Amino acid sequence: LAKTTQPISMDSYEGQEVNITCSHNNIATNDYITWYQQFPSQGPRFIIQGYKTKVTNEVASLFIPADRKSSTLSLPRVSLSDTAVYYCLLGPPNNFNKFYFGSGTKLNVKP
């Protein structure tokens, strides 16, 4: 089961761009990279998913280099409400049968 490594915590200020990097040296060819956000006492929520290069949606961007051994979640102009834990996961999208969430990155956005 391919595992990921993320920073335990990060601090930022409102209005800044935040980049959270996830390392996954043993990523498999058919693995996609998926990011989830979790607020305290709530279930995680899907943010974004990608396979290679760059993916962007209304919430975030995901940058994946050519070797795919890492990925970076970019949150533009964060606000206090973006304070949450962010998880990076690997897996084939047609068979996410064992999700390894790990400990995630706790993002603290300050005013």
Partner 1 sequence: DSGVTQTPKHLITATGQRVTLRCSPRSGDLSVYWYQQSLDQGLQFLIQYYNGEERAKGNILERFSAQQFPDLHSELNLSSLELGDSALYFCASSGQGEYNEQFFGPGTRLTVL
Binding marks (x or -) toward partner 1, 58..87, rule CB under 8 A?
A: -----------------------------x
Is residue 102 near partner 1 by the rule CB under 8 A?
yes
Is residue 39 near partner 1 by the rule CB under 8 A?
no
Is residue 30 near partner 1 by the rule CB under 8 A?
no
Count residues binding partner 1 (CB under 8 A): 22
- Distance from C-alpha of 19 to C-alpha of 41, rounded to nearest angstrom: 24
Locate all alpha helices (DSSP H) within 14-97, ordered by sequence.
Answer: none
- Distance from C-alpha of 63 to C-alpha of 36, rounded to nearest angstrom: 15
